Amino acid sequence: VNDEELKKRIAEELALERARRDSEAQKRRLFGRLLERERISSNEHLTRVILRERAATEEERQKAQRLAKQVEEKERELKKHDAYYKEQLARLEER
């Protein structure tokens, strides 16, 4: 009877240990899946942020180009006015 009880007890302990290991393995798999989902979500978020920043940077670049062109046009216009007024001043001084 002692042998039988010992075998039964060992079998129960082995079964409990196996169940514990299975439970731990299941927890690790679940945790791994959760981590993978979080990684994917973070990567998607980061990608969206990068794309938004790139778009904003491109918009800023285009705005800077437009403003630079406006400044150049204004400078040309001012030079024309300056030349015209110098010409008018020279005519007035001649009279």
User: Cα separation of 20 and 27, whole Å?
Assistant: 10
What confidence score (pLDDT) does residue 45 get? 97
User: Of 21, 22, 41, nearest to 33 (Cα)?
Assistant: 41
What confidence score (pLDDT) does residue 1 get? 67
pLDDT per residue, tens digit, the chain (95 aa), is 689 999 999 999 999 999 999 999 999 999 999 999 999 999 999 999 999 999 999 999 999 999 999 999 999 999 999 999 999 999 999 98
pTM score over 0.75: no
Name the residue ranges covered by the structural domains of the chain. Answer: 1-67
User: Cα separation of 7 and 11, whole Å?
Assistant: 6
